[in-house]
Amino acid sequence: MILATGAAYHLHRSLGLPLPKQFIQTAQAEADFPWSEEIELYFGTTVASGSFAWIVPFLNNGQTKARIGLMATKEAERAFARFLQSPPVASRIRTGQMIRLRRRPIPLTPLARTFATRTLAVGDAAGLTKPTTGGGIFYSLLSAEFAAAVAQQALVHEDYSEELLSGYEREWKEHCGQELRLGRWFRRYAERLTDGQIDAAFQLATSPAVDRLIRERAAFNSHGGLILALARSTHVRNFLPRFFFTSGTSYLRWLVGGRLTEARALPTAGMDEDRTFSLAS
């Protein structure tokens, strides 16, 4: 069996699989919205704690709409309600329209074991997402490819044991393990930034040296190379004195290949649901 249930874990324990240790909450809705060519991102501790909010315009049968949402380490629905009432959103959204709010957990850490007897977990079901943005499509496709190859071996040899299926986990760890550890390290630091530090980080990102580094190393599906380049940049190191004082040992361990302790875990109960409500003022 290849378990591809997304961020739904009701089958895991019965199949002998653990659960992800860390989640982030998300809330998103689609609404009628004026057209724009740009995707908008919003940051700040009062906007979305430990993460960011977004407005993504799109067309649906000729109608202009937007996906409005956010990720947050806590109280995502309450943060989402505040975001809807903020001037950038409220000034462009029609009062009284009914929208369907979708709340979902996103795993930020892989399962401690992504295989069991006759079972492989892929994508979100395996806890394989980008820790930086929560994106899951890339790792879903990549892990599915690895799982299919191992499943084919199991069928050919008629061997569905954990010993054979463990090759799937070795494969994704070889290709993605360091990338995921780098992403978790980056999130662990970034979600502690104050609003002032977030502003300073954006100012730093627009400086010629750092802007050039970002343009050279940024990749849509792979963030680890850029994260490591930024962490080793003298320009960025000068920006991190508070982090060195509070987590300097972990940072140095990371640069020489050590593993970092995971951040807090968030419960999944009650996070996976849809809700419809009116935008009445």
Question: Is residue 34 within 8 Å of residue 64, measured between CB atoms?
Answer: yes
Task: Encode pLDDT of 29-51 as tens digits.
Answer: 999 999 999 999 999 999 999 99
Contact (CB, 8 A) for 191 and 22 = no
260 domain residue, yes or no: no
Which two three-digit tokens encode residue 141? Answer: 């496709």
Please report the pLDDT score of residue 97 as a whole number.
77
End-to-end CA distance of the chain: 49
- Return all residues near 252 (Cβ < 8 A) that are at least 6 apart: none
Residues 95-114 pLDDT 10s: 777 778 899 999 999 999 99
How far apart are the C-alpha atoms of 136 and 128, rounded to whole Å?
7
Quote the number of domains for the chain. 3
Residue 149, pLDDT > 70, answer yes
Are 144 and 115 part of one and the same domain? yes
* Region 267-279 average pLDDT: 51
Which pLDDT belongs to residue 60? 93
263 found inside a domain: no
- The string of pLDDT tens digits covering residues 211-239 is 999 999 999 999 999 998 998 888 887 77
Give the burial class of 102: count Cβ atoms within 10 A of its Cβ; 0-12 exposed, 13-18 middle, 19 or more buried: middle
Token pair in block for residue 181: 């550890």
pTM confidence score: 0.81
- Residues of the domain holding 67: 23-107+269-278
9 plus 137 within the same structural domain: yes
Categorize the per-residue pLDDT at 242 as very low, low, confident or very high, splitting at 50, 70 and 90: low
